[in-house]
Structure 1
Amino acid sequence: MTTGTLLAVCRVHELRPDLGIGVTAIDKRPVGVAVKVRTLGLYGDVQVDRKHHGGADKALYAYSQQEAEFWAAELGREVPPGMFGENLRTAGIETTRAVIGERWKIGASVIAEVTMARTPCATFQRRMREPRWVKRFTDVGLIGTYLRVVTKGEIQAGDDITVISRPAHGITVGKFFSSPTADDVRTLTKLHDDGELQLAHALRPYFENILRADS
Structure 2
Amino acid sequence: MPRLVAVCAVHQLRPDAGSLGVTAIDKRALEGSVRIGPYGVRSDVQASRKHHGGLDKAVYAYSAADAEYWESELGRDLYPGWFGENLRIEGLDVNAARIGEVWRIGDTVELEVTMPRTPCATFARWVGGRDARGWVKRFSDAGRLGAYLRVRRSGDVSAGDAVEVVRSPEGAPTVLEVYRG
TM-score bracket, shorter-length normalisation: over 0.9
Which runs of structure 2 are paired with 1:53-72 in the superposition (5 Å)? 53-72=52-71
Task: Please state whether the residue corresponding to 1:57 is helix, strand or coil.
Answer: coil
Q: How many residues align?
A: 177
Counterparts of 1:75 and 1:24, CA distance in 2: 22
Q: Which structure has greater helix proportion? A: 1
For each residue in 1:30-60, what CA deviation from the matched residue of structure 2 results, as whole angstroms up to 9, or x when unmatched?
A: 0112111110101100011000000000000
Give the corresponding residue for 1:151: 153
Tell me the equivalent position of 2:9. 11
> Could you tell me which residue of structure 1 aligns to residue 96 of structure 2?
97
Aligned to 1:31: 30
Deviations 1:103-139 (A, max 9, x none): 0000110000000000101110011112211111011
Find the aligned partners of 1:77 and 1:149 in 2 and give their Cα distance. 32
The normalised TM-score by structure 2 is: 0.95
TM-score, normalized by length of structure 1? 0.81
What fraction of aligned residue pairs are identical, expressed as a percent?
Answer: 53
Measured on the aligned residues, the alpha-carbon RMSD in Å equals: 0.8
* CA displacement at 1:26 relative to structure 2: 0.4
Amino acid at match of 2:50: K
Structure ID, larger Rg: 1
- Residue ranges of structure 2 left out of the alignment (5+ in a row): none
Where structure 1 has 5 or more consecutive residues not aligned to the other structure, the ranges are 181-215
Match of 1:132 in 2: 134
Higher relative contact order (CA 8 A, sep 6+): 2
SS of 1:63 mapped into structure 2: strand
CA contact (8 A) 2:100 2:172 kept: no
In structure 2, C-alpha distance between the alignment counterparts of 1:121 and 1:168, rounded to whole Å: 30
Which amino acid letter does the alignment assign opposite residue 157 of structure 2? I
Q: Distance between the aligned counterparts of 2:161 and 2:62, measured in 1?
A: 15
Q: CA deviation at 1:176?
A: 1.4
Cα deviation for residue 141 of structure 1 reads: 1.4
> C-alpha offsets along residues 37-86 of structure 1, whole Å, 9 cap, x if unaligned?
11010110001100000000000000001111111111111121101000
